Amino acid sequence: MPIFSIAAWKSVCTHYTIAIFSRSICLAFTVTVASLCISYPCAIVVAGMPRANRQLILLLFCYPLLTSLLLRTYGWNNLLPLSWHGTLSGVGIALTASYLPFMLFPLLRSLQSFDPIVLAASADLGATRWQTFCLVTLPLTIPGISTGCILVFIPVLGEYLIPHFLGEGKVHLLSTLIYQHFIEYRNWPYACACTVLMILLSLVAFAFSTLLHGRLSP
Amino acid sequence: MNNRYLMWSGRALLAVTLVFVYMPIFMVFIYSFNGSALGSVWTTLSLRWYGVIATQQELWLALRNSAGIAFAASTLSLIAGVSIAIVISKWGHMAQNLVLALLIVPIILPDICHAVALSVMLHAMRIERGFHTIVAAHVASGVCYSSLIMIVAVRGLDKTLHEAAEDCGATAWQCMCMVTMPLISPSIAVAWLMVFALSFDDFIIASFTKGVGDDTLPIKIYSRMRFGVRPDTNALFVILALVSALCIAGTRVSRASPLEYASEQHEPTAI
């Protein structure tokens, strides 16, 4: 008969775990924002292309997702300057490159979902290009933005291989913590408590994006 | 003038982004032709590491394990996915949405959560670990993907085709084999390949659910990478990357229009 205890949760509530937890959230958030900032202009360019070119570019962005993540991690290992190994920024760059396509695809889809004639109408009514972007394009692509952010934020939060290899044991994140305690230390209660935290965080992020989606989209 | 400038800077950004995404892959390709025994120092062009890879039995064994596991997992998830899609297509709107929500949640959660949950469950059920537990774990995550793809495919079907077949006297089984299946066959190919790719590539779930000594290819590569950079690993990666390029080509070919596909087949039951 197992004995119930909250010892694992007590150790989760220590300063050490909370620091790792907030570092993970900050990293995932930064990677999400960075990939949004890179993908959005790219998606606008791709959406304006002729159909054949668009399909080619999409295929090009698809292909890296089908190669092994280990391969890409290994490539980054060779690519990053030695001084960036084992730093949070090095891990962040590799994560951004790996998860960028997940942001691009939903953005592109939502950019193609509305009639481009509304942009011409906005220009006709005297809006500058910047105003058209802020008041027409951006609100119309809120569904794509929220989907893309979820598709990047949550997998980055749980990503293990990239922080493990590029972090070289110096970057402690929630995922490496779970792996370490589950596989190496066999401290299952603690690892499970951390996993529950991760699940809750993912669900909260998902609920938040759904709410945002419902509130902001016209 | 301003417009042109914006357009070109946008294209430049797109090109830079593509380079950013592809750089690590190129790096591995280039270094696989490196003659040096030190992974990170470039010396001469050579095919030496491809020869070395060919002689490493353990890697080929791991590759065979991975392919077998991925084949079993994708086939089982596909069967489950098609069944789920066809069964729930006859349900009410609310029930369908509930099933969809239940299928989406496991996809949203990070893989590591799945892995921990499955490992704890295997322990609690006292199941002996081995390749079968890896297959079961991959089915548990793959079935969500395959059934979502199949649900979308079945929803997109024209119901009148099915009714027409029934009017012409087809039995339910004939309707299934000669109407529904040929129409959803492109999605079947996509779902199978997707779960195959996910399972073949998976490190984290397999490493949490495997038995001692059961190594899939990603686990083998992971343990090689732990002991520093080994140049032959590059050659292995290049071979794998070419295989996934072939997979992409496969999905492109199978994405022919379903009606064309159905009319080309003289005996749709053979599919």
ipTM of the modeled complex: 0.85
Per-residue confidence (pLDDT) for residue B254, from 0 to 100: 57
* Chain B contact present for A45, CB below 8 A: yes
Query: Residue B236 CA to chain centroid, in angstroms?
Result: 19
Cα–Cα nearest to B188, from B157, B216, B165:
B157
Per-residue confidence (pLDDT) for residue A75, from 0 to 100: 86
Min Cα–Cα distance to chain A from B179, Å: 30
For residue B258, name the pLDDT band (cuts at 50, 70, 90): very low
B266: pLDDT strictly greater than 50: no
For the segment B153-172, the average pLDDT, to the nearest whole number, is: 83
- d(CA B145, CA B194) in angstroms, rounded, equals 8
| Of A23-32, B28-37, B50-59, B261-270, the least confident | B261-270
Low-confidence residues in chain A, pLDDT < 70: 1-2, 216-218
**Residues 86 to 105 of A: which have CB under 8 A from any B CB?**
94, 97, 100-101
- Of the partner residues A45, A62, A154, the one whose CB lies closest to the CB of residue B248: A62
Q: What are the chain A neighbours of B39 within 8 Å (beta carbons)?
A: 78
Per-residue confidence (pLDDT) for residue A121, from 0 to 100: 86
Instruction: Say which residue, B158 or B247, is predicted with more confidence.
Output: B158
Burial code (b: 16+ CB inside 10 Å, e: under 16) for A115-130 equals eeeebeebeeeebeee
* Chain B contact present for A208, CB below 8 A: no
- Of the partner residues A74, A150, A195, the one whose CB lies closest to the CB of residue B233: A74
* Chain B contact present for A160, CB below 8 A: yes
B262: pLDDT strictly greater than 50: no
For residue B259, name the pLDDT band (cuts at 50, 70, 90): very low
Q: Number of A to B CB contacts under 8 A, please give it.
A: 153
Per-residue confidence (pLDDT) for residue A218, from 0 to 100: 57
Express each pLDDT in A164-217 by its tens digit: 888 888 888 889 989 988 888 888 888 888 899 999 999 999 888 888 877 766
- CA dihedral for A157, A162, A166, A172, sign (positive or negative): positive
Express each pLDDT in B206-234 by its tens digit: 988 888 878 888 888 888 887 766 777 88
Q: What are the chain A neighbours of B221 within 8 Å (beta carbons)?
A: 68, 70
Q: In a 3-state reduction of DSSP, which class is residue B45?
A: strand
For residue B81, name the pLDDT band (cuts at 50, 70, 90): very high
* Chain B contact present for A157, CB below 8 A: yes
For the segment B92-106, the average pLDDT, to the nearest whole number, is: 88
- Of the partner residues A69, A159, A191, the one whose CB lies closest to the CB of residue B116: A191
Per-residue confidence (pLDDT) for residue B39, from 0 to 100: 58
- Of the partner residues A42, A155, A206, the one whose CB lies closest to the CB of residue B14: A42
Contact A67 B39 (CB under 8 A): no
φ, ψ of residue B45 in degrees (nearest 5): -80, 130
Per-residue confidence (pLDDT) for residue A96, from 0 to 100: 93
- d(CA A114, CA A118) in angstroms, rounded, equals 8
Torsion-angle region of B229 (φ positive above 0: left; ψ -120 to 50: alpha; else: beta): beta
Q: B13-16: long-range contacts at Cβ-Cβ below 8 A with a sequence spacing of 24 or more?
A: B13/A38, B13/A41, B13/A42, B13/A45, B14/A41, B14/A42, B14/A45, B14/A46, B14/A57
- CA dihedral for B190, B193, B199, B200, sign (positive or negative): negative
Mean pLDDT of chain B: 82
For residue B137, name the pLDDT band (cuts at 50, 70, 90): very high
Min Cα–Cα distance to chain B from A114, Å: 20
Q: What are the chain A neighbours of B248 within 8 Å (beta carbons)?
A: 59, 62-63, 66
In chain A, what is the straight-line distance between the N-terminal and C-terminal CA atoms, in Å?
A: 55
Q: Are A34 and B189 in contact (CB under 8 A)?
A: no
Spatial CB neighbours of A11, under 8 Å, sequence gap ≥ 6: A17, A190, A193
For B204-266, the DSSP string reads: HHHHHH--TT---HHHHHHHHHHT---HHHHHHHHHHHHHHHHHHHHHHHHTS-HHHHHHH-S
- Of the partner residues A68, A74, A182, the one whose CB lies closest to the CB of residue B116: A182
Q: Are B230 and B221 in contact (CB under 8 A)?
A: no
Q: What angle do CA A54, B242, B32 make, to 5 degrees?
A: 115
What's the Cα-to-Cα distance from B37 to each of B71, B102, B229, B233, rounded to whole Å?
35, 50, 10, 12
Contact B248 A178 (CB under 8 A): no
B58: pLDDT strictly greater than 80: yes
B47: pLDDT strictly greater than 80: no
Per-residue confidence (pLDDT) for residue B265, from 0 to 100: 40
Contact A78 B28 (CB under 8 A): yes
For residue B253, name the pLDDT band (cuts at 50, 70, 90): low
- d(CA B122, CA A189) in angstroms, rounded, equals 15
Q: B156-162: long-range contacts at Cβ-Cβ below 8 A with a sequence spacing of 24 or more?
A: B157/B183, B157/B184
Q: Are A158 and A181 in contact (CB under 8 A)?
A: no
Q: Are B13 and A41 in contact (CB under 8 A)?
A: yes
Min Cα–Cα distance to chain A from B9, Å: 10
